[in-house]
Amino acid sequence: MTSLIHIINASHLPDSDLQPIADAVERVFRRPVRLQRRPLDYERAFDDSRGQFSSGILLGQLLADDNLIGRKEIVVVDVDLFIPVLTFIFGEAQFEGAAAIVSAYRLSDEFYGLPTDHAKLLTRLEKEVVHELGHTFGLYHCHQFECVMRSSTYVEEIDLKQSTPCLECRRLLDRKNENSSLPEIRLQESL
């Protein structure tokens, strides 16, 4: 099976935590997904004045890879991400592009002073990975509350939505897939 969506684990989470997420991505996007580890140059992305990491610089490191043509990559990190105008972001994607980034940093209950809930963290991470990859496939934010493409500006909003697209976004995604040069895998209906 050709690996056409790469999930890069650049976090402290074990790969075993990310494998169910890779499976979910494969179900939603109907593409073969490969999970791999790759280090990022965090030092270059660190902003002293904010104490946060520039999402743009980290994303740029993925895009610098010449072998990126023909596939999509999403990197999972566990540092606090920012873009210049916003105080933080959960993730960022190149719209209809090849790369995306998601951070687990603000997805854990610990960040909000609550007891650790690892399962909840992984569920939120799965939704955000699917959400950002959705943008790379050309999906806009959706107004449906339960759709994975619903914009989330705080963590409770992520909890409200599902990890799958709504019917309308599903249709759009299928249409995009038809026009895409990426070979689609046929999935069992039970998936």
Q: Which is nearer to another protein, 86 or 114 (CB)?
A: 86
Distances (CA, A) of 105 to 21, 80, 160, 190: 17, 6, 19, 33
Please select the residue that binds another protein; options are 2, 3, 116, 153, rule is CB under 8 A: 153
User: What would the x/- binding string for another protein be over residues 110 to 149, using CB under 8 A?
Assistant: -------------------------x----xx-x------
132: annotated active-site residue: yes
Q: Which is nearer to another protein, 13 or 130 (CB)?
A: 130
- Measured distance CA(142)–CA(72) in Å, rounded: 22
Distances (CA, A) of 166 to 80, 143, 161, 170: 29, 10, 10, 6
Q: Which is nearer to another protein, 1 or 85 (CB)?
A: 85
- Measured distance CA(142)–CA(175) in Å, rounded: 16
Q: By CB under 8 A, is residue 63 in contact with another protein?
A: no
Q: Which is nearer to another protein, 49 or 188 (CB)?
A: 49
CA nearest 17: which of 37, 38, 39, 3?
37
CB burial of 8-27 (b: ≥16 within 10 Å; e: otherwise) equals bbbbebeeebbeebbebbbe
**Shortest Å distance, C-beta 94 to another protein:** 8
**Shortest Å distance, C-beta 139 to another protein:** 9
Pairing label, strands 72-77, 99-103: parallel
Please select the residue that binds another protein; options are 39, 84, 113, 115, rule is CB under 8 A: 84
**Shortest Å distance, C-beta 33 to another protein:** 22
CB 149 within 8 A of CB 134: yes
Contact residues: another protein, CB under 8 A: 50, 56, 82-89, 92-93, 95, 135, 140-141, 143, 151, 153-154
Active site residues: 132
